[in-house]
Amino acid sequence: MAQLFNFIAMSKIPLFLGGVMIGLVILYTIKPPSAIPVKDGDLIFHNSTSAQSPFLEQLTGSKYTHMGIVFFEAGKPLVYEAVEPVRYVPLEQWIDRGTNDHFVVKRLKNSKEVLSEKNLKLMKKKGLEFKGKSYDRRFQWDDANIYCSELVWKIYDAIGIQIGALKQFNEFDLNSNEVKNEIKKRYTDDGLTFDPNEKVITPVDMFNSSQLKEIQRGGKEQK
């Protein structure tokens, strides 16, 4: 009888170990913030779960609808982002807000040369000019309010680096009913005129910049 119990116990070991291994894979590939090798100045992207994300996907043709920049404070990685309002948020919390916890971290290819302590201080100082400002739902280029990719672009511009090519609204497909409805809600209904020549920078234009290299991605990626 003792031998039978020993056999049963031993037969469960592979199953147990398999479960442990699966758990570790999930833990360390989806979002272990302490294991993500981020550095000051890294860019992080995800597909937002916000109500406007489908509209942005249709407008830009990309699943990456939100982004932020990583800065360390007291030894901990934070994401500085333009939501409502512009703020710092812990890296783990930022990842949790994305669809299926998917994220991509990118970094300047020449970050070692250009992201000196002096330049990082300038970037953080520039970022603080926008802290607490409201999210710019009209995606205008002035600094009254600000949106996610605009925030990161202007922070890097403070040290003479422009990541991603600026575009104008008229370079996007503005003909779908969803896009037309959003323009109406965000401009016309508020008595404002939509300017198709407004400068704009999108998360995907920064994501696709040849100046960046991918550092890590995690979570379940959308097809």
Q: Are 15 and 23 in contact (CB under 8 A)?
A: no
CATH code, 35-218? 3.90.1720.10
Choice between 52 and 11, residue whose per-residue pLDDT is larger: 52
pLDDT on residue 13: 47
Residue % of the chain over a pLDDT of 90? 66
* Owner of token pair 């170990």: 17
Any idea where the domains of the chain sit in the sequence?
A: 1-30, 35-218
pLDDT on residue 207: 97
Cα separation of 11 and 148, whole Å? 53
Nearest residue to 218 (alpha-carbon basis) of 65, 45, 56: 45
pTM value > 0.85: no
Please write the tens of the pLDDT for every residue from 118-152.
999 999 999 999 999 999 999 999 999 999 999 99
Choice between 214 and 37, residue whose per-residue pLDDT is larger: 214
Please say if the pLDDT value at position 16 is more than 60. no
Cα separation of 132 and 84, whole Å? 8
